[in-house]
Amino acid sequence: MAFKFKGGVHPDYMKNPECPETVIPAPDQVVIPMAQHIGAPCKPLVQVGDIVKMGQKIGENPAPVSAPVHASVSGKVVAIEPRPHPLGDMIMAVVIENDHLDTPCNDLAPLTEEEMNDSETILARIREAGVVGLGGAMFPTAFKIRGGIGKVDKVIINGAECEPYLNGDHLTMLNYPEELLKGVELVRKASCVDKIYMGIEKNKQDAIDLLNGIIAKNNYPIEIVPENVKYPQGAEKMQVKAVTDREVKPGGLPAGVGANVVSTRTAYAIYQACYEGKPVIERIVTVGGSAMKGPVNALTRVGTPFGYLAEQCGGFVKTPRKIVLGGPMMGLCATSFEAPTVKGTAGVLYFTEEEDKMVPNPTCIRCGKCITVCPMNLEPVFMYMYYTKHDYDNMAKYHVTDCFECGSCSYNCPARMPLTHAFKTAKLMFQARAAKEKAKAEAAAAAAAAKEANN
């Protein structure tokens, strides 16, 4: 029985799990950005002209918060240069000309049964295979799990998939239940806990039944927690609340209350890494939106450009206005058709004016609907007011920095105020101000030190 959190919205779900998993042929050229995770970007390990195999490691950084990247096709490296990243910037990327042979690379051998009982070996493999949070956050999984060992007693596999459109987690549960649960077991062993929980929204009842059957058959120490269908059920803090009734402190991490959350697709990627020796080079991407003919659940190689992906999924029926990465509630926009999918791209939605409900000069009517839906118990109407006045003290008082940008307030706003946008900007303003003050303090300290030295 899941615990409830306050607030939340019920957007139009638009989910199509009956849409089968469609394999998208690898493009002639893949673009693999060196930053597909939170943390230190990778440095390319290959040179222009090198021949690489599918799954070969092509970028790495020894920093602890990092994850290597691998070639998603076999072929020849034709360029190593900054290319458009899905989120806007030009980021160093390795461009590989596909030879369409998919010559496999055998650097990662499947782990043996004994190795799969050792937390350290599993974690090393998770890191080597470049597994990051595939729900979209792209936080290096090995670092997350390692940080929680000893502190964390409840590990949760996040199968809520509360974002509209997205079906990747649901399809993984339906199509690869055995493999997924083996992956979940690996997460449990890596985290050194006796029991692991899976939080799944009740709109995936077929998956819950299927998984429960297999769990009973194999006696896995896994408990499935059916959760209410409500956005943002899959947000890390809400997921922890739903399963354990613990509330992550403002500004804190789930590990602070002894919980860790790993997404479903990540658990499956861990299975692939350990049992098959396959790094993260492909994933299910839900392609949809009103510009497309219909939704496609596309098994896509990492590094597939968005333009090519749309063509392979049936092409456009209308001119797209936006490319949304991930779900529509928290997804950001891509700026270019040339930008490629990355590990965390759970969906690529091509939106037209149909989805766009912006109005010129939005004006708040103080209806308070933002307050009733905020899962963090914040008061967006006042936060926005103080944001427009650049009133940092009051913004802090109203906890702007605790907003995790789920978008519920903006979604529910009848006046179409850009609330989430404002809070995102406000958080950046706080960061910038903190950096400025730090620099000022350092300069003052340096000046004082210089004065001291002169005396």
Partner 1 sequence: MAAEKKEKIILDVAYQPQVRTNRDTRSLMLDVIIALIPTLAVTIWQYGFHPLLVVLVSMASACFFEWGYRKLMKKDCRVGDLSALVTGMLLAMTLPTSVPVWLPVIGSFFAIVVVKQLYGGIGKNFLNPALAGRAFLLASYAGIMGRWQLPNAMKGIDAVSSATPLSYMYGDSALPAWLNMKSMFLGTIPGCIGELSALALLIGGIYLIARKVISWRIPVSFVGSVALVTLICGKAGYGHFEWMVDNVLAGGLLLGAFFMATDYVTSPVTLNGQLLFGCGCGLLTVLIRYFGGFPEGVSYAILIMNLCTWAIDKAFRRYPFGATKEDIAADKAERKAARGAAK
Q: Pick out residues in 427-446 that bind partner 1 (CB under 8 A).
A: none
Nearer to partner 1, 229 or 415 (CB): 415
Side-chain half-sphere exposure of 39, counting CA atoms within 13 A:
24
> x/- site string to partner 1, residues 259 to 298, per CB under 8 A?
----------------------------------------
Asked if 399 interacts with partner 1 (CB under 8 A), we say yes
Give the interface segment with partner 1, choosing from 91-99, 136-144, 174-182, 412-420 (CB under 8 A): 412-420
Angle, vertex CA 232, rays to CA 226 and CA 237, nearest 5: 80
> 332 exposed, middle or buried (CB, 10 Å; 0-12, 13-18, 19+)?
middle
Q: What is the spatial distance between Cα 55 and Cα 25, in angstroms, rounded to a whole number?
A: 16
Asked if 5 interacts with partner 1 (CB under 8 A), we say yes
> x/- site string to partner 1, residues 335 to 354, per CB under 8 A?
xxx-----------x-x---
Place of tokens 């749309």: 310
Asked if 307 interacts with partner 1 (CB under 8 A), we say yes
**Residue among 421, 427, 429, 430 that touches partner 1 (CB under 8 A):** 421
Instruction: Give the full edge-to-edge strand order of the sheet including 90-98.
Output: 29-33, 90-98, 75-84, 51-52
Q: Interaction with partner 1 in 170-229: which residues (CB under 8 A)? A: none
**Residue among 104, 221, 250, 294 that touches partner 1 (CB under 8 A):** 250
Q: What is the spatial distance between Cα 280 and Cα 71, in angstroms, rounded to a whole number?
A: 9
**Residue among 99, 223, 276, 311 that touches partner 1 (CB under 8 A):** 311
Q: Which of 205, 61, 201, 198 has the alpha carbon at shortest distance from 140? A: 61
Q: How far is the CB of 439 from partner 1 (least distance, A)?
A: 27
Q: Interaction with partner 1 in 69-88: which residues (CB under 8 A)? A: 88
Place of tokens 């009133």: 391
Q: What is the spatial distance between Cα 98 and Cα 103, in angstroms, rounded to a whole number?
A: 11
Asked if 398 interacts with partner 1 (CB under 8 A), we say yes
Q: Interaction with partner 1 in 18-77: which residues (CB under 8 A)? A: none
Q: Which of 340, 259, 346, 281 has the alpha carbon at shortest distance from 306? A: 340
